[in-house]
C-alpha cells in the first residue's frame, strides 16, 4: 500500500497540481489545509502564470486524484484535509464541473500548447525541430477536429 499524504509530511514531499488550462503548479501543501483552502492558494499562485485568464472561478472546479487502489477519485467534499487523501501518485488534477464543451475544448487546446512548449524546452537541441513539428501537427489535427475540417496532410 502506498504511503498517504500524512505519512509523507515528515519529509517535504512535492505534489503536482494540474489545472485545466495547462498550468502545472508544484508545491508541498500543508497537511492540515482543506481542499477549499488549497484551491484558493492554487488560484493565487496561478495568477502569476500564463493562460490564467482562461481559468474560471475556483468554485467551478473539483479535485481529481488517483487513490491507492489505482482508481480515479473525484473529491467533492472541500472540507477534507490534504492529509486525509489516499493518493497513489503525488499528482492532483483540477477539472471543471460545468459541462461546457467549448470551454473544455479551449482548455484542452491550451493544455496541449503548454505541454508542447514544455517538452520542446526540455529536449536537447537535436530533437527540438522534430518535437516542435509533431506538437504543431498534433495541434493542427486537434483544431481540425474541433472545427470539423479535413485532416492536414504531411
Length of the chain (residues): 154
Shared-domain flag, residues 22 and 49: yes
Rounded CA-CA distance 52/68 in Å is 31
Shared-domain flag, residues 34 and 91: yes
- CB distance 10 to 98 below 8 Å: no
Burial of 98 (0-12, 13-18, 19+ CB in 10 A): exposed
Q: Per the structure, how many domains does the chain have?
A: 2
Structural domain boundaries, residue 77: 15-96
Tell me whether residue 112 is in a domain: yes
pLDDT of 15-26, one tens digit each? 899 888 778 888
Shared-domain flag, residues 29 and 78: yes
pLDDT of 57-84, one tens digit each? 888 888 888 888 888 888 888 899 998 8
Amino acid at each position: 500500500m502506498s504511503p498517504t499524504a500524512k505519512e509523507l509530511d515528515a519529509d517535504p514531499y512535492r505534489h503536482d497540481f494540474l489545472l485545466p488550462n495547462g498550468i502545472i503548479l508544484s508545491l508541498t501543501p500543508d497537511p492540515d489545509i482543506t481542499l477549499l483552502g488549497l484551491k484558493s492558494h492554487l488560484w493565487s499562485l496561478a495568477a502569476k502564470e500564463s493562460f490564467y485568464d482562461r481559468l474560471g472561478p475556483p468554485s467551478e472546479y473539483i479535485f481529481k486524484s488517483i487513490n491507492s487502489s489505482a482508481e480515479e477519485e473525484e473529491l467533492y467534499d472541500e472540507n477534507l484535509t490534504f492529509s486525509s487523501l489516499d493518493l497513489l501518485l503525488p499528482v492532483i488534477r483540477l477539472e471543471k464541473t460545468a459541462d461546457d464543451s467549448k470551454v473544455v475544448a479551449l482548455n484542452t487546446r491550451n493544455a496541449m500548447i503548454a505541454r508542447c512548449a514544455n517538452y520542446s524546452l526540455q529536449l536537447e537541441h537535436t530533437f527540438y525541430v522534430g518535437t516542435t513539428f509533431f506538437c504543431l501537427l498534433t495541434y493542427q489535427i486537434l483544431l481540425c477536429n474541433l472545427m470539423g475540417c479535413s485532416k492536414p496532410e504531411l
